[in-house]
Chains A and B, each alone.
Chain A
Amino acid sequence: MSRPRTGRRTGAVAVASGMLLLGGCGIQGTDVIEAGGPATVQAFVDHDTEMLLFFHSRDGGISPVIRYPKSTVEYGPDGGMVSEQNSAGQGSTDQDGVPVPTEKVILALLSGPDDDDRKAGLSTSLPSAPSAGTLRVKVSPGGETVTTELPIALDGLDRTGLRQLFCTIAYSHDENGRATVRLSGTDGASTSGTCDLDPTPSRQP
C-alpha cells in the first residue's frame, strides 16, 4: 500500500505547488516604489522683487516661502532700525531692477514667519532681530563666498536655524544658491556652510 500513498502524497504536493503558483492571484500590495522625479511646480521667483525665505515645518524640514517685500525694515547707517514704506508701484527697488539686498532679506527672515506662513504651520528657529545692531554683507571677489555679520549671537542656534540662514543668504545672493556662506555673530562665533536643499544630482558633491 505504500505506492498509492506515495502517489497521493505526490498529488498533494502537485496541488499545493499549483496553489502556490496561482496563489499570487489578483492585485497584491507592493512596497514603496520610486517612479520618476518630483513634480516641478510653477512657482517662479522674481529675484528682483521677491525674496526667498526659509522656515521650517513641524517635521523639521526646511520650506522655502516667497515673500514680496511689502514693507521692510532695515538698519540705517547709524545702526538703528529704519522703516521703509515700499508700496506697490512706487517702490524704489523693483523699479531699479536691482535684486532685493541681502541685508533686507536677512532682516525679513529674522522677523519670522508672517500670518500666512504660520497658518501653513511654518516657524523659525532664529531669534528675532534686535532693535539695534550691525548687519554687514561682504561678497568675495569671485562671488563664491558671502560673508555676513549678523546682529544675533550664533552660539545658541541649532542646526535648523543655521540651515535657514545658509539657504536664505545663499539664494538671496545667487539665484542658484551655490554660494558658500560664512557667518559671524555678535558673540564672535563664526561658522560657514552651504545650502544643500537642491536635489539636482549635479549639485551633490
Chain B
Amino acid sequence: MTSGTGRARRTLGTRVGRRRAVDDGTAPKDAPAGRAPRRTADDVPSGRARARAFGLRTRLVFAFLLVAAVSAGTTSALTYREARNALLKTAQDTAVSSFRDQVQQTGWALPVREEGLEEVLRDMARKGKPHPWVVFAEYGSVRASSGENPVSTVITPELRRAARAHPNGSFERVVKDGVPYLTIAMPTVFKAGPESVLPSGLVVYAVMRMTDEQINVEALLAAARDGALPGLVIALIPGLIAARSVLRPVRELRKAAQSMGSGRLDTRITARGSDELADLARTFNESAAKLETSVRELREAEARARRFASDVSHELRTPLAGMLAVTEVLDEDAERLDPDTARAVRLVSAETGKLAVLVEDLMEISRFDARAAELNTDEVDVAQTIGKTLQNRHWTDDRVRTDLPPGIRARLDPRRFDVVVANLVGNALRHGGAPVTVRLRGEARSSGPSVLVTEVADSGPGIRPEVLPHIFDRFYKADAARTRSAGSGLGLAITLENVRLHGGTVRAGNHPAGGAVFTVEIPLHLEEADG
C-alpha cells in the first residue's frame, strides 16, 4: 500500500528520540480525558435537582424538625396539662371549700321549709367564690334554687346519686354547649349529739360557670403553642448544621469519585474523625490507591509492549537495509544465472522489499501509537498535491481518472496527505478495479468550518457489508482465504491515523452504481494559524 517512493522519502528518526516519544506518550494521552469532567459536571444539575427534592439534606433537616416537634410538642403539652390541671384544681378546691363554709354558716331548720328557702339560697349565691354561682337545694320533695329554675339542667344524675349515697362533698366538671361548669354537691349533716352527726337529708348544689378559668386555660394553650413554635425554628439551625456535617464529606466523596472517573487517579480524600463517613473515605482512598497501582502497571505494560514493537521494527531496519542492497545487486545479476536460481533470487528480492515496507509501516504506526507523529502543515494547492502524488507513483495512465478543480487551497501536511492519497489509490487499484477516480471538492458545512472532501472510487465489486466496520483495522484481511496480501496490512490503518491527525475523518462505503468509495474529509483551516 505505501509505495516505495513514500518509503524512500521517510526520514529515519534516531532510536533515542523515538524512545522518548514513546515514554512521553502517556502524558498527552491524559489530556483529552482531562476534559471529560467538564462534560459530566454539566450533566449533574438535572440529576441533582431531582435528587434534592428528597435529598439527604431535606431528610436530615426533616428528621431534626420531627424530633424537635415531638419533643417541643410533648413538653409544651405536658406543661400545659399540668398548668391547666393546677389552675382548675385551685379553682375547684376554692369553690368547694368556700361553698362548704357557706352552707355551714347558714342556719337550717329540720325539716327544711320551702318558704324563705329561695331567699337563703340567693344570699348564698351572692357570696360565691371565686365566682357567683347558682345554688340549688334538694330536700325530700323540696326543690329550690337561687336562679329561675328550681332544678338545674347542668347537674348530672351521677352527681346526685353520689351525693345521696355518700355524705361527702363532691364536684363534677360538666361542659354544656361548649361552656364549662363546675357543679358541686354538698350533702349536709348536723350534730345530733356531742359525738355524733346525722345526715340531714338536705343536699345543696352549686353550679358555677368557669368562664375565667376557660380564659386562663386558653391563654395557657396559646402560651404552650407559642413556646413550641420558636423551638421548632431554633431546631432548624442544628438540623442544618448536622446536615452540613454529613453532606460535606458526601460532597467531597462525590467530587473525588468524579475526579477519579476523569482519570486523576491520585485523588484522595482527607478522612477526618472516626465515624462511618470517615471509614468510607478511608476505604475510598485505599481503593483509589489500588486502582492507581493497577492502572500504572497496565500502562507500563502497554508502554513496554509498544516500545517492544517499535524496537523490533527499528532493529530489523538496519539488516534489512543491507539485505535490500544485496538483493538489488542480485537482481541485476539474475539474468546471468540459470533460470531456477534467477527465479529464487527475484523472489527473495521481492519478499525483502515487502518486509522493508512492513517494517516502515510498523514504525509509522508505532509512532502514531506513541503520539509522536507530528503535523508539519503548509498551505498548499490540493489539486497540485494530488497530481504530484499520482505522478510520483506513475499512475498517470488511464487507470486513474481525476476530477481535480484547481484553486482549492488548504493547510495540510503535504507528506502525510501524500501518504493518504497514495494508500487509498494504491488500495483501490489493488483490491478494487481500474479505472480509479479521484475527486476533490470543497464543501461548506452549516456547523463548523467548511471541509475539504477527497473521494477515491474504484470500479471493482465494492466492499462486502460485513467487512465495512473493520476495513480500517490493522492487519485485517478482507478476504480470509488470501492470507498473504500484497500490502503490509497496515495501509488503511495508517491512512486513518493520518486523517485523524489532520482533524478529519475517513469513510469507506459502496457507490450505488458499484465500486468502493473512500471519502476523506479534512477541515479547511485556511484562516487559522497552524495548530
Q: Is the CB of B140 within 8 A of A39?
A: no
Cβ of A61 under 8 Å from chain B: yes
With contacts A66-B110, A176-B194 known, is A199 near B167, CB below 8 A?
Answer: yes
Give residues of chain A (146-205) contacting chain B, Cβ–Cβ below 8 Å. 171, 174-178, 197-200, 203
**Chain B residues closer than 8 Å to A65, beta-carbon distance:** 110-111
Number of A-B contacts (CB under 8 A): 226
Which of B81, B139, B164, B188 makes the CB contact (< 8 A) with A120?
B139
With contacts A27-B213, A117-B111, A197-B199 known, is A36 near B193, CB below 8 A?
Answer: no
Produce 1/0 per residue, B107-124, CB < 8 A to A.
Answer: 111111110000000000
From A18, which residue of chain B is reached at the shortest CB distance? B73
Q: Is the CB of B140 within 8 A of A36?
A: no
Q: How far is the CB of A177 from chain B (nearest CB, A)?
A: 6
* Complex alpha-carbon distance, A33 and B70, angstroms: 32
Q: What are 17 A-B pairs at a CB distance below 8 A?
A: A3-B54, A4-B53, A27-B84, A27-B213, A29-B174, A35-B168, A35-B171, A36-B96, A38-B187, A39-B187, A40-B104, A52-B192, A58-B140, A61-B164, A65-B110, A120-B142, A198-B192
**Chain B residues closer than 8 Å to A45, beta-carbon distance:** 190-193
**Chain B residues closer than 8 Å to A96, beta-carbon distance:** none
**Chain A residues closer than 8 Å to B173, beta-carbon distance:** 27-30
Cβ of A10 under 8 Å from chain B: yes
Which of A24, A32, A39 makes the CB contact (< 8 A) with B172?
A32
**Chain B residues closer than 8 Å to A11, beta-carbon distance:** 62, 66
Q: Is the CB of A63 within 8 A of B70?
A: no
**Chain B residues closer than 8 Å to A41, beta-carbon distance:** 103-104, 106-108, 188-190, 200, 202
**Chain B residues closer than 8 Å to A133, beta-carbon distance:** none
Cβ of B59 under 8 Å from chain A: yes
Which of B114, B197, B217 makes the CB contact (< 8 A) with A198?
B197
**Chain B residues closer than 8 Å to A40, beta-carbon distance:** 104, 188-191, 197
* Complex alpha-carbon distance, A45 and B189, angstroms: 12
Cβ of A78 under 8 Å from chain B: no
Cβ of B159 under 8 Å from chain A: yes
Cβ of B225 under 8 Å from chain A: yes
Q: Is the CB of A21 within 8 A of B73?
A: yes
Taking Cβ atoms with an 8 Å cutoff, the residues of B that contact A are 53-54, 59, 62, 66, 69-70, 73-74, 77, 80-81, 84, 88, 92-93, 96-97, 100, 103-114, 139-142, 156, 158-159, 162, 164, 166-175, 180, 184-202, 204, 210, 213-214, 217-218, 221, 224-225
Produce 1/0 per residue, A3-44, CB < 8 A to B.
Answer: 110010011001001100110111111111111111111111
The number of chain A residues with a CB under 8 A from chain B is 60
Cβ of A108 under 8 Å from chain B: no
Which of A37, A47, A171 makes the CB contact (< 8 A) with B168?
A37
Cβ of A91 under 8 Å from chain B: no
Q: Is the CB of A27 within 8 A of B175?
A: yes
Produce 1/0 per residue, A40-67, CB < 8 A to B.
Answer: 1111110100001000011101111110
With contacts A4-B54, A32-B170, A61-B201 known, is A38 near B111, CB below 8 A?
Answer: no
Q: How far is the CB of B61 from chain A (nearest CB, A)?
A: 12
Q: How far is the CB of B432 from chain A (nearest CB, A)?
A: 60
**Chain A residues closer than 8 Å to B213, beta-carbon distance:** 27
Q: How far is the CB of B176 from chain A (nearest CB, A)?
A: 9
With contacts A26-B180, A26-B214, A40-B190 known, is A35 near B113, CB below 8 A?
Answer: no
* Complex alpha-carbon distance, A39 and B96, angstroms: 10
With contacts A43-B200, A45-B192, A64-B200 known, is A36 near B141, CB below 8 A?
Answer: no
Interface of B is mostly: mixed
Which of B59, B105, B170, B196 makes the CB contact (< 8 A) with A176?
B196
**Chain B residues closer than 8 Å to A79, beta-carbon distance:** none
Cβ of A122 under 8 Å from chain B: yes
**Chain B residues closer than 8 Å to A200, beta-carbon distance:** 195-197
Which of B73, B88, B188 makes the CB contact (< 8 A) with A39?
B188
From B214, which residue of chain A is reached at the shortest CB distance? A27
Given contacts A28-B175, A47-B193, A176-B193, 14 further A-B contacts (CB under 8 A): A14-B69, A27-B88, A34-B169, A35-B169, A37-B167, A38-B168, A39-B204, A40-B197, A42-B105, A43-B108, A65-B110, A119-B111, A177-B198, A199-B199
From B92, B112, B156, residue with most partner A Cβ within 10 Å: B112
With contacts A43-B190, A57-B141 known, is A27 near B198, CB below 8 A?
Answer: no
**Chain A residues closer than 8 Å to B93, beta-carbon distance:** 35
Q: Is the CB of B201 within 8 A of A21?
A: no
**Chain B residues closer than 8 Å to A63, beta-carbon distance:** 110-111, 139-140, 199-201
**Chain A residues closer than 8 Å to B175, beta-carbon distance:** 27-29
* Complex alpha-carbon distance, A61 and B169, angstroms: 18
**Chain A residues closer than 8 Å to B113, beta-carbon distance:** 116, 119-120
With contacts A35-B93, A175-B192 known, is A14 near B169, CB below 8 A?
Answer: no
**Chain A residues closer than 8 Å to B69, beta-carbon distance:** 14, 18
Q: Which 6 A-B pairs have the closest CB atoms?
A: A121-B141, A175-B193, A63-B201, A121-B140, A21-B77, A39-B103
**Chain A residues closer than 8 Å to B158, beta-carbon distance:** 31-32
* Complex alpha-carbon distance, A121 and B77, angstroms: 51
**Chain A residues closer than 8 Å to B109, beta-carbon distance:** 43, 66
**Chain A residues closer than 8 Å to B168, beta-carbon distance:** 34-38
Q: How far is the CB of A167 from chain B (nearest CB, A)?
A: 8
Q: Is the CB of A33 within 8 A of B171?
A: yes
Q: Is the CB of A38 within 8 A of B199?
A: yes
Q: How far is the CB of B519 from chain A (nearest CB, A)?
A: 50
Which of A3, A25, A38, A177 makes the CB contact (< 8 A) with B189?
A38
**Chain B residues closer than 8 Å to A17, beta-carbon distance:** 70, 73
